[in-house]
Structure 1
Amino acid sequence: MPDWGIITNMNAVEVLKAILDVLLVWFVVYKLITIIKGTKAVQLLKGIFVILIVRILTELLGLDTLKWMVEQVLTFGFLAVIIIFQPELRRALEQLGRGRLFARTQMQEEEERDRLISAFTKSVSYMAKRRIGALITVEKETGLSEYIETGIAMNSDISSELLINIFIPNTPLHDGAVIVQKNKIAAAACYLPLSESPFISKELGTRHRAALGISEVTDAFTIIVSEETGAVSVTIDGDINRNVTMEEFEQIVRLAWFGDTAAVSAVNSIWKWGKRKNG
């Protein structure tokens, strides 16, 4: 008579093994996708997917000649992939040898964050020294699509050179706000709502009122460079911090944009001091 307890335990173990196997496969596939995301290998995967669909259709429709051609492509395609993507494969194997293959996603995110902060700091510093007026709004949770539609669509990668070029006086895009959405420059020359608060200092111009206005109706934060004085200001949640230094500016951007907890205490003191300075 069979021992049903042992059989049940074996089935349970095998089920757990099968679940673990599937989870590991999905994890590896996910990591590989994140590694090749944004590279030319993505286009290769799309091409392979199309070929597989064509292969299935030729089987269903009985298209023997086309089926033979597709099979030849698949047969020799593997060798072609190795030759074409030899640099990428070598780099992936090097990462695996260093034990950094699966840590690469987090590393890439940190590198991208540092690159964006550096681009903002470099461009704002350049414009402040030369008194080039600028207005840059960064979207967070609240969508800014209705304001993006008022400007000129760009959908461009963020770089200090591009930000500086947009705000050079007497150029087509310099008058208005740049809106950043999902780490891209979504649009330039955008119109923002002006704050109607009676408590705003009379010395603040249209750029500052627009920055305060958008911060009152959304959770976005906005960077202002004064054309008259070159002073840098930041608005968040209806508050404005004026005359921030570049060191303070970088800390504020780290916290406001990326939620960098290491910058919390520094930003709190900066913000309180900024309010005292501004009366």
Structure 2
Amino acid sequence: MPFADYFAEFTLIDYLTNFIDVLLVWYVIYKLITVIRGTKAVQLLKGIFVIVIVQSFSRLFGFTTLSWMMEQALTWGFLAVIIIFQPELRRALEQLGRGRLFSKSNIQEEEEQMQVVESIAKAVGYMAKRRIGALIAVERETGLSDYIETGISLESHVTSELLINIFIPNTPLHDGAVVIQKNRVAAAACYLPLSESPYISKELGTRHRAALGISEVTDSITVVVSEETGSVSITKNGELHRDLNMDGFKELLTNELMQSTKVKQPSSSKWSFRGRDNG
């Protein structure tokens, strides 16, 4: 049958059905990508893509043995995926069962994000008054799973009480960073990369360098409470906002995490390094 005659048999309903079918497939793919974003599954997809390319070239150039090996890798790889990525698959199925995988209202997301902001602000206010050192990184678009794996998994609701207890001195989890992912405390005692910028003041301690380091390689928002002075700082996009009062801190944190209007200038001095602060 000629190509033109094949499409001539299509009715308007057929075109509309196929169009909706394609849109639904792309939507499902998009939602699945949002589930695995920031997890080890992303690296798996890259590996599968490489295997497919190698298999295509091996067939093109007649590399029989290599082509057979790639086919076996794809055939048995499906079973390996189920075993290796069982936690991610379970989480996706749980979200599907709760009806959260394909539908989550903006109002619900806004409420959850606001609850996170309130919990962090309350915990930071408590720790700043008592000079309890803290380091809290909040994931945004760039995944922080590589850093979460360096810490102790928690997967808990974000509450001020939990954050305070984590950073109480001499407790098992106080040394390191807390990472908040998808409005949950994903892990504590995580290692963050230290900034190697030569322009950072020598007065800054490890916490501030770690906060700057993670902000240089991701788009996360990181909160620092100095153990020496009790000062509160926020890092984002490689910038350090230091000596924030609680109103300025909460305003900046809210504007960044809620993705609302442009951040107003808080009552702090950006990159104003004053006094000794080993954070």
TM range (shorter): 0.5 to 0.7
TM-score, L = length of structure 2: 0.59
* Paired residue type of 1:275: K
Seen in structure 2, the aligned counterparts of structure 1 residues 152 and 248 have a Cα distance that, compared at 3 Å, is: same
Name the structure 2 match of 1:168. 168
Q: State the Cα distance separating 1:201 from its structure 2 match.
A: 1.2
Matched, 1:275 2:270: yes
Distance in 1, Cα, partners of 2:106 & 2:139 = 22
After superposition, the Cα gap between the structure-2 partners of 1:121 and 1:201, relative to the gap in structure 1 and judged at 3 Å, is same
Post-superposition Cα deviations, 1:171-206, rounded to whole Å, max 9, x if no partner, equal 000000000111111100000111111111111100
Q: CA deviation at 1:105?
A: 4.3
CA contact (8 A) 2:113 2:183 kept: no
Q: Which has the larger radius of gyration?
A: 1
Per the TM alignment, residue 124 of structure 1 is displaced from its structure 2 partner at its CA by: 0.3
Q: Note closer, same or farther for the CA distance 1:265–1:239 as it changes in structure 2 (3 Å cut).
A: closer
The 2-side partners of 1:255 and 1:229 are apart by 26
Q: CA deviation at 1:278?
A: 4.0
Report the Cα distance in structure 2 between the residues aligned to 1:277 and 1:202, rounded to whole angstroms.
12
What is the match of residue 202 of structure 1?
Answer: 202
2:142: which partner in 1? Answer: 142
Distance 1:276 1:187, change over 3 A: closer
RMSD of aligned alpha carbons? 2.8
Q: Which residue of 2 aligns with 1:189?
A: 189
User: Relative to total residues, which structure has the larger helix share, 1 or 2?
Assistant: 1
Instruction: Map residues 46-195 of structure 1 onto 2, 5 A cutoff.
Output: 105-195=105-195
Match of 1:61? none
Quote how far apart the aligned CAs of 1:150 are: 0.5
Q: How big is the shift at 1:107? A: 4.1
Structure 1: gaps (5+ residues): 1-11, 20-41, 47-103
Match of 1:233 in 2: 233
Q: Distance in 2 between matches of 1:165 and 1:240?
A: 26
Q: How many percent of aligned residue pairs carry the same amino acid?
A: 58
> d(CA) in 2 for partners of 1:265 and 1:167?
28
Give the gaps of 5 or more residues in structure 2. Answer: 1-11, 18-92, 98-103, 275-279
CA–CA distance in 2 between the matches of 1:105 and 1:213?
33
Output aligned runs, 1:239-250, within 5 Å.
239-250=239-250
